[in-house]
Structure 1
Amino acid sequence: MRGRAFLILVVFVGLLLPTPVPAGPAERSVLVLDQSSAGLPFNTAVASAIRSTMNAGSKSPISFFSEHLDANRFFGPEYENDFVQFLKAKYRERHIDAVIVFGVSALDFITRHREQLWPSVPVVFAAIDEATMLRRTLSNNVTGATMQLALQDMVKVARIVMPNLKAVAIVGDPLERQTFFRHFIDELPAVEAQVEIVNLMDLPLADLAKRLAVLPDNTAVLYTGIYFTSDGVSYIPAELTSQIAQWANRPVVVTASSYLNKGAIGGYIVQSHPIGQQAGHMALRILAGESASDIPVAKVPSQLTFDWPALQRWKINESHLPPSAQIVFREPTVWERYSWQIGLVSVVILLQGALILGLLREYRRRRFAEVQSRQSMAELARVMRFSTAGELTALMAHELNQPLGAILTNAETAKVILKSPVPDIAELSEIVEDIWRDDHRAGEVIRRMKSFLKKAPFELKNFDLNDVARETLVVASSLAVGRKVELTHLITQNELPILGDRIQIQQVILNLVVNGIDAMRDAPMESRTISVRTSLTEKFAELSVSDRGPGIPESKLKEVFEPFFTSKAEGMGMGLSIARTIVEAHHGQIWAKNRDHGGASFRVRLPLT
């Protein structure tokens, strides 16, 4: 019983104890030691690339710590000893898994004091030039990535932008005091053998500005970096690039990406992101268990890069640059900036062009059809005029007989007078005057008929509607007399200038008068009256032809203008249809209505010019 009770007690206690939680990945710590001061754009970009690369590739959380040696401004054994004591105190309770050093001064510092600080911690270096590393033997558990940074490369770029290069002016802190460019000292003899070196290092800025403004032809400026001047003022080197480029009367060659877009021409540019990525990948391999000594040193090449605004300033043609060169900060062309908008507009324009061409073609076809229709209409109208003229022939013959008979009588009388011994000259003169008058009368009858029947193309001219109405009434008067119809008119005193074809408008009026005369064929003699009136109505010239016939049935008022509609057994039904076509071709209107006291009235309205 006691054994069973004890077993139950053990199980119960086991249930009360908390369940152990599986341990997560251990946190790792990485220290980035920068040889320069905090806040430098290039160094900050490298550190950012290191962090982002390692965070993206690590399965364990990483804590990053940053320290700045500021070796450009502070140096010496005493300063280093104080800095070592500072680091030892600060990281006494913090385990560091890897140290990433940025720059040769930082590598030298950690090499000298590694045993005091982190004896067994692996080291990854970054941003150290190839020439410097070739002269060194790496300590155990150290690897890293070199950068392409050489004075000869700067001279090479200077020759690209200045083909007849004779001198280079070096601007910056003294080389022996610089951390990134100290190795340029070893290259100076080889460069001096090629071109003259103008030393503009360690000058107060006021003096530097004056010297840069008067550099001789075929000279280029090589800017390394100004951290602080001889008068003790500190600067961020990248921020001075704009000022130096503005002062210089010659192109300025640089080496760091943070120096671009500030007026410098460019150069073999050390890129911050590739350096940071490479160092970050190496540190990840070390944290994963690899020995730093087993990881070979990597080389990060520099890209030959030119600044587009600076190329424009110095009028350097892009074709003179090496094919491998990269051009940055180029103003995008209109096509590059608005390619899809231009493409869309081009498509729209092409479609509009095709539509316009189609419309023009259709317009031409329509115009051609209109011309043919107008010609057909004119021909049909001429046929109708001949039809009307048939009715006028007998009456016109009667009109011609009167002047011709008078001419014959006067001619015979003149013949008798001429046979007399003493001809009466005065009487002969009167006879000749009568003959001329009768001949003119006969000629006028023939002229009116000839004008009415002549074949002429549709021709727009300015004329007065009143004049055409009067001329038409003269032609129609013979028919009215023959049909025993009284033809009255009331012509307005106002001018009615219109633009149109005179003969066709005359035919419209004559067709309306003839239709009115025909409509009163069975009307009593005293009722056979045709009234023609003209008037000015707003901006239109209006003409009306009214008869006193039986009128038009209300249901047929619109049909009377349709082709082949007629109330006459012998009619063709085309007169009013042609009249409407002619009026509409003149942008006018024609309509019919019945009069209150019997008969019909046709009205024509044409626009004034």
Structure 2
Amino acid sequence: MMICRHLLLLLMLPLFSVFAAESDSAGRSVPAQVLLLLSYEPLFPAADNIVNTVQHALNRNPRHDITLHVEFMDSDLQATEEYFHAYAQLLRAKQQQGERYDLVIVAGDGALKLVAAEGREVVGQAPVVFLGVSDSELIRHVQSQGGYTGIYDALPVYEFMALMRYLYPGFQQLHVINDGLPRSAQRLLQLQQAADSLSQKLVVHSLATLSWQQLADELSELRGEPLLLLSAYQDADKQVKPLQKSNLFISNHSGSPLWSLSPFGIGDGLLGGVVTDMTDSAGQAADMALRILAGENPDRIAVDWHPANLTLIDAELAARAGFDHDDFPQKTTFVHEPPGFWQNYRNLFLLLLSVTVFFTSIGLFIWSEIRRRKFSDQQLDDRTELIKNILDSIPDIIFYKDRNGIYVFCNKQFVNLMGKDPVGHTDFDVFDQETAAFF
């Protein structure tokens, strides 16, 4: 009996540990701790979008009290083993100070490389959900370790090639701008593989060997051939231009409009492109995280190898380049669309509508007031006529005067007796002088 009791306690011990992880010593629910580790710097356009989308999705879920920790690696220019190791030490130090993670969401290749390289020493046994990762070999590597799932950031290179061939029929070369930094190497490789399979020639303008001005000189000669901006952050002289300034500089010096495989910059110097919907990917990653926090095994959640894509076009720049709306696929999303009739005249229409409603309201009020007064006057006339008929039927004489002695009313018997109607007259007009003086 004693042995059975010990075996039962041993079997129940894991259950007690699970409940202890979800409750504190007072039996209250402990918030789940989620780390969002981003490869980007805080000012990178994708970063803010991903953080807000994940935060909103986690807060929207009523079943979990979740605390989100956000870390920015800024690994685009620091993709060395030494940097990854130093950043891993930073994460370990935070955990030694009391931080713990029940789940980790990583965004970008650099963040997933850090977790994969440093292993469970960085995130413990927490499951990992990834998004924005374009390195398919890295994804397969971490999958083999178990505890990983997420969304592959597949560059829509074939869809982009199809769009370029439709918009530039018969073009010979696809020009590509690249800066040679590690973050763009994988993308250039995928683009080159797609171009080779389609027998499409690529001409790469690399800032690894060109200065900004030399790049501008080369691009100014382009006419009638598509130009894809893959990455442009720093030139051969190590001069850095942030994303917005880089896009504007290249678009202002290029003889052809700029296309992109990223949504960031379209509408801000870039004409458009076929891009991954990062908002959709971030929301999908957050949903995966919630499923795992609810108890689902991450290894049973399949990696999404085909994320949603969309064709995004700056309508204003497209019009300047000679493209019409009908030149693009039916489900194209446009930004900076020229205002239509409603946008142009909305304020005027609303003003006229307000004036019309105002004067209509005044007219209705006046009309209803006139009707009310007419109805009241009619009621007064009817009542006056009724009273007059009643007084005329009385056999006694009835009359009344105002303060000046002028007759205001008299009944029929008064008129019959006196022989005249006294209304509007005084006693001196009705009776002889002596009788009037007596009255």
Pick the TM interval, shorter chain.
0.5 to 0.7
Match of 2:177, SS state, is strand
For 1:190 and 1:118, how far apart are their aligned partners in 2? Answer: 36
Q: Does residue 1:314 correspond to 2:321, yes or no?
A: yes
Candidates 127, 130, 155, aligned match of 2:132: 127
Candidates 262, 266, 269, aligned match of 2:272: 266
User: 1:153 matched to which residue of 2?
Assistant: 159
Structure 2 CA distance for partners of 1:223 and 1:42, relative to 1, 3 Å: same
Q: Does residue 1:201 correspond to 2:206, yes or no?
A: yes
Match of 1:211, SS state, is helix
Structure 1 residues not aligned, in runs of 5+: 1-20, 350-609
Report the Cα offset of residue 128 of structure 1: 2.1
Give the letter aligned to residue 109 of structure 2.
V
Candidates 102, 110, 126, aligned match of 2:115: 110
Tell me, yes or no, if the aligned pair for 2:116 and 2:142 is still in contact at 8 Å.
no
Q: Does residue 1:35 correspond to 2:39, yes or no?
A: yes
Match of 2:240, SS state, is coil
User: 1:56 matched to which residue of 2?
Assistant: 60
Give the letter aligned to residue 122 of structure 2.
L
User: 2:79 matched to which residue of 1?
Assistant: 75
Tell me, yes or no, if the aligned pair for 1:128 and 1:180 is still in contact at 8 Å.
no
User: 2:255 matched to which residue of 1?
Assistant: 249
**Which is greater in Rg?**
1
For 2:116 and 2:185, how far apart are their aligned partners in 1? Answer: 20
Tell me, yes or no, if the aligned pair for 1:148 and 1:301 is still in contact at 8 Å.
no
Report the Cα offset of residue 122 of structure 1: 0.3
Tell me, yes or no, if the aligned pair for 1:147 and 1:301 is still in contact at 8 Å.
no
For 1:306 and 1:129, how far apart are their aligned partners in 2? Answer: 23
Tell me, yes or no, if the aligned pair for 2:155 and 2:261 is still in contact at 8 Å.
yes
Structure 2 CA distance for partners of 1:82 and 1:345, relative to 1, 3 Å: closer
Structure 2 CA distance for partners of 1:95 and 1:340, relative to 1, 3 Å: same
Report the Cα offset of residue 313 of structure 1: 1.1
User: 2:218 matched to which residue of 1?
Assistant: 211
Q: Does residue 1:333 correspond to 2:336, yes or no?
A: no
User: 2:303 matched to which residue of 1?
Assistant: 297
Candidates 67, 70, 73, aligned match of 1:66: 70
Q: Does residue 1:178 correspond to 2:185, yes or no?
A: no
Give the letter aligned to residue 206 of structure 2.
M
For 1:40 and 1:165, how far apart are their aligned partners in 2? Answer: 33
Report the Cα offset of residue 341 of structure 1: 5.5
Tell me, yes or no, if the aligned pair for 1:255 and 1:268 is still in contact at 8 Å.
yes
Give the letter aligned to residue 49 of structure 2.
A
Report the Cα offset of residue 134 of structure 1: 7.6
For 1:168 and 1:113, how far apart are their aligned partners in 2? Answer: 39
Match of 1:200, SS state, is strand
Give CA-to-partner distance per residue, 1:173-223, whole Å, 9 cap, x none.
Answer: 22xx332661431441541563332221223211111111111x3311111
Give CA-to-partner distance per residue, 1:287-340, whole Å, 9 cap, x none.
Answer: 122121121223421111211011111011222222222222202212345459
User: 1:26 matched to which residue of 2?
Assistant: 30
Give CA-to-partner distance per residue, 1:447-486, whole Å, 9 cap, x none.
Answer: xxxxxxxxxxxxxxxxxxxxxxxxxxxxxxxxxxxxxxxx
User: 2:396 matched to which residue of 1?
Assistant: none
Tell me, yes or no, if the aligned pair for 1:167 and 1:218 is still in contact at 8 Å.
no
For 2:94 and 2:142, how far apart are their aligned partners in 1? Answer: 30
User: 1:429 matched to which residue of 2?
Assistant: none
User: 1:418 matched to which residue of 2?
Assistant: none
Structure 2 CA distance for partners of 1:41 and 1:343, relative to 1, 3 Å: closer
Structure 2 CA distance for partners of 1:190 and 1:123, relative to 1, 3 Å: closer
Report the Cα offset of residue 155 of structure 1: 2.7
Match of 2:159, SS state, is helix
Match of 1:84, SS state, is helix
Higher relative contact order (CA 8 A, sep 6+): 2
TM-score, with structure 2 as normaliser:
0.67
Match of 1:305, SS state, is strand
Match of 1:235, SS state, is coil
Structure 2 CA distance for partners of 1:66 and 1:120, relative to 1, 3 Å: same
Structure 2 CA distance for partners of 1:180 and 1:102, relative to 1, 3 Å: farther
Give the letter aligned to residue 342 of structure 2.
W
User: 1:46 matched to which residue of 2?
Assistant: 50
User: 2:283 matched to which residue of 1?
Assistant: 277
Report the Cα offset of residue 116 of structure 1: 1.8
Tell me, yes or no, if the aligned pair for 1:25 and 1:59 is still in contact at 8 Å.
no
For 2:230 and 2:194, how far apart are their aligned partners in 1? Answer: 18
Tell me, yes or no, if the aligned pair for 2:174 and 2:228 is still in contact at 8 Å.
yes
Match of 2:119, SS state, is helix
Structure 2 CA distance for partners of 1:114 and 1:340, relative to 1, 3 Å: same
Match of 2:158, SS state, is helix
Match of 2:99, SS state, is coil
For 1:35 and 1:241, how far apart are their aligned partners in 2? Answer: 21
TM-score, with structure 1 as normaliser:
0.49
For 1:291 and 1:266, how far apart are their aligned partners in 2? Answer: 39
Give CA-to-partner distance per residue, 1:224-276, whole Å, 9 cap, x none.
Answer: 12233222233333442222112111121112222111132211122332122
Q: Does residue 1:240 correspond to 2:246, yes or no?
A: yes
Give CA-to-partner distance per residue, 1:25-75, whole Å, 9 cap, x none.
Answer: 312211111122221011221121111111111444322222233332113
For 1:50 and 1:268, how far apart are their aligned partners in 2? Answer: 23
Identity within the alignment, %: 21
User: 2:195 matched to which residue of 1?
Assistant: 191
For 1:143 and 1:158, how far apart are their aligned partners in 2? Answer: 33
In the alignment of these two chains, the number of paired residues is 327
Give the letter aligned to residue 271 of structure 2.
I
For 2:182 and 2:125, how far apart are their aligned partners in 1? Answer: 30
Candidates 91, 105, 110, aligned match of 1:100: 105
Output aligned runs, 1:548-563, within 5 Å. none
Report the Cα offset of residue 77 of structure 1: 2.5
For 1:146 and 1:341, how far apart are their aligned partners in 2? Answer: 49
For 2:142 and 2:162, how far apart are their aligned partners in 1? Answer: 29
Match of 1:50, SS state, is helix
Structure 2 CA distance for partners of 1:335 and 1:133, relative to 1, 3 Å: farther
